[in-house]
Structure 1
Amino acid sequence: MLTFISGVGAIAWLIALILFLVDAFQKEWWKGLLCLLCWPYQVYFMFAEFQHPRKTQVLVAYWLGGLVGGVLGKGLLG
């Protein structure tokens, strides 16, 4: 069961990451490249420049999905 929850979290994180990257590459190619290669800029872009009708849900999916997928995937909680 924990493996399933971990997989769902990882998939939610991946979908949110793809949404961020698509938005970054559509604005400027160098912003997309920085988001892809430099995670501090990715965090800045998420909160300062990312525009999406469901921005809050995408942010929650990114952070909680990454946390759940990472922690449960590593076996730290179970």
Structure 2
Amino acid sequence: MHRERTPEEDEVYQLLITLIEKLEQEYYQQSQENNSLSMLLFILKESEKSRDDLVSVFGVEDLVNNILNGQEKINT
């Protein structure tokens, strides 16, 4: 990224930046109230982890259940 690019590479680089920004605006709006929860669910799905994996991290099943049910907020 910090080396000198050809004009073609620079165009592709700018296109990637534009596409990433568009994706973030459409799917990861900070104004969404459940953004942290939706991000957590997305990460769990993509990493093929489950609720039980979270319980093993937090050690408290009720806390994990409350987070996944939206009853407990995730601080970011």
Return the TM-score normalized by structure 1: 0.30
Select the structure that is richer in helix: 1
Structure having greater relative contact order (Cα 8 Å, sep ≥ 6):
1
Bigger radius of gyration among the two: 2
TM-score (norm 2): 0.31
